[in-house]
Amino acid sequence: MFIFFNELKNTFNKKSIIVILFCALLSLLVALFAYNKSLYTGEIIDNEYKEIYGNKAIKQVLSYPDKYYGYLDNEKLTEAAKSHNENVDRNSKRSKPVYENLINSDATSMIYSFLYINANREKPLVEWKDDAYIPMNIPKNFYKLRNEEVLQQASKINATDKVEKMEEELNIPFYIDQTASFWRTILEFLTVLIIASMFISVIMTAQSFSETFENGVREIIIMSEEGKKYFAKYRILSTLIYSTVVYSATAVPYLCYMFLKIGVRGLKTDFQFISLFSSINANIGQVILYYMFAAWMGILSMVCLSLFLSSLLKKSYATGIVSILMIIITYVNNIFFRDGKNTFINKILSITPMNSPEYIFIFSKNQFLNLFGLLVNLAIATIIIYLIYITVFSILSAKVYKRIQK
């Protein structure tokens, strides 16, 4: 155990602690920016629409009558669509600055989510010729039409039966809270922080094994049987602990700040408010928990891959460059080719460690991969695969390091 505690001490050195404090500061700065500059709603002053942010925005949405929220049944959606159609500028195609449009904005955003996806289909379920006007048959049959769209998507990968079963378990109509729209933005910034956490963890751990070759410590380690037997194992464990602390310092202060400022009411909103065609029966709060755990597993997977490269390449800069390039290439693909024709490649990339910060997109549509006729639930399979990555790369890192020592 002496070697383990010594490794912890070496891992949590002054530089490492400064990095952890930097991550916590970054988390709070992002929280302050997101809250005061990105979380917004509107208010009407002298018949003009004005965006308001932060505390003022929270106070505004909490003042809206409860009857416009809760479970958005077809009747509420119809009223929202009617209000929109009666109060839209047909020239600019923008909502007029009226109170009814403000309080119905969440309901109308759900309707438009359906319309925009439906309009891009080769054979749309409904005709939509005027994008300033909501066809009234949409809100009146909203959940039926949404279900048809979901099953159409599932049929493309022969997953109709499984998705239909998931659809039957959904809580319909969907539950929406006043602060629901803020959590969409909060999740976007959380994803950015998790990506930052991955980069920082990889940079800080790239030298874990390679530095022992560069500074000559390896020669001292191999002089004892205990060092040969336990050093690699405890170096891996201490590195994973450090990466967990970095991840926590980057993500947790941000979320805690948002919880304190906004409260937890919006977390009860069904995830379909963020991603309408998802079949997952969970609210935003539950999805955040899944996301945080999966992203943590993914970051540890990436760290273990970096450890393996560190033991193999024996150069810190080479390990760092290769690891970071793998992350960058993955996100270049996500940005430019996510909606391309290489769907199979995208889904394979989605279960790599580099893509773990975007795990939440697995829930966005149908979360299945048809792998040579076998339907795989990506949400579950990805976490299992991350655990396999952690195990395999940890074992390989130790074995390669010991082999090199001989």
- Going by C-alpha positions, the residue among 205, 263, 225 that lies closest to residue 15 is 205
Residue 311 CB coordination number (10 Å): 27
Cα–chain center distance at 341: 23
**Three-state secondary structure call for residue 50:** strand
What gap in Å lies between CA 264 and CA 268, rounded to an integer? 8
pLDDT of residue 47: 77
- Going by C-alpha positions, the residue among 300, 279, 284 that lies closest to residue 378 is 279
pLDDT of residue 34: 96
Residue-wise burial string across 150-161, b where 16 or more C-beta atoms lie within 10 A, e elsewhere: bbebbeebebbe
pLDDT class of 35 with cuts at 50, 70, 90: very high
Comparing 349 with 58, which gets the higher pLDDT?
58
Average pLDDT for residues 25-43, to the nearest whole number?
Answer: 95
349-to-280, 331, 342, 343, 360 alpha-carbon distances in Å = 21, 10, 11, 10, 14
- Which single residue is written with the structure tokens 């024996």? 314
Tokens of 327: 């992350």
| 321-338 pLDDT, tens digit each | 988 888 888 777 777 765
pLDDT class of 359 with cuts at 50, 70, 90: confident
Element (H, E) at 71: strand 70-71
pLDDT of residue 406: 46
Average pLDDT for residues 242-256, to the nearest whole number?
Answer: 97
Tokens of 257: 């700040």
Percentage above 90 pLDDT, the chain: 46
Burial status of residue 341 (CB atoms within 10 A of its CB: 0-12, 13-18, 19 or more): exposed
Any idea what DSSP says for residue 15? H
Comparing 131 with 31, which gets the higher pLDDT?
31
Cα–chain center distance at 219: 43
pLDDT of residue 57: 93
What gap in Å lies between CA 233 and CA 227, rounded to an integer? 10
pLDDT of residue 337: 66
| 152-205 pLDDT, tens digit each | 888 888 888 889 999 998 989 999 999 999 999 999 999 999 999 999 999 988
| 227-236, 342-351, 377-386: range with lowest mean pLDDT | 342-351
Average pLDDT for residues 24-51, to the nearest whole number?
Answer: 91
- Going by C-alpha positions, the residue among 295, 321, 298, 294 that lies closest to residue 309 is 321
| 91-104 pLDDT, tens digit each | 776 777 788 888 99
pLDDT of residue 273: 93
With 50 as the cut, is the pLDDT of residue 240 above it?
yes
| 250-304 pLDDT, tens digit each | 999 999 999 999 988 889 999 999 999 999 999 999 999 999 999 999 999 999 9
Average pLDDT for residues 33-51, to the nearest whole number?
Answer: 89
The per-residue pLDDT of the chain, averaged, comes to: 86
- Which single residue is written with the structure tokens 């070496």? 10
Q: Are 400 and 308 in contact (CB under 8 A)?
A: yes
pLDDT of residue 152: 87
Whole-model pTM?
A: 0.89
- Which single residue is written with the structure tokens 């289909």? 121
Pairing, β 175-176 against β 70-71:
antiparallel
Residue-wise burial string across 69-100, b where 16 or more C-beta atoms lie within 10 A, e elsewhere: beebeeebbbebbebbbeebeeeeeebebbeb
**Three-state secondary structure call for residue 328:** helix
- Going by C-alpha positions, the residue among 50, 103, 97, 60 that lies closest to residue 80 is 103
For 149, how many CA atoms within 13 A lie in the half-sphere containing its CB? 25
Residue 167 carries which side chain, given as an amino acid letter?
A: E
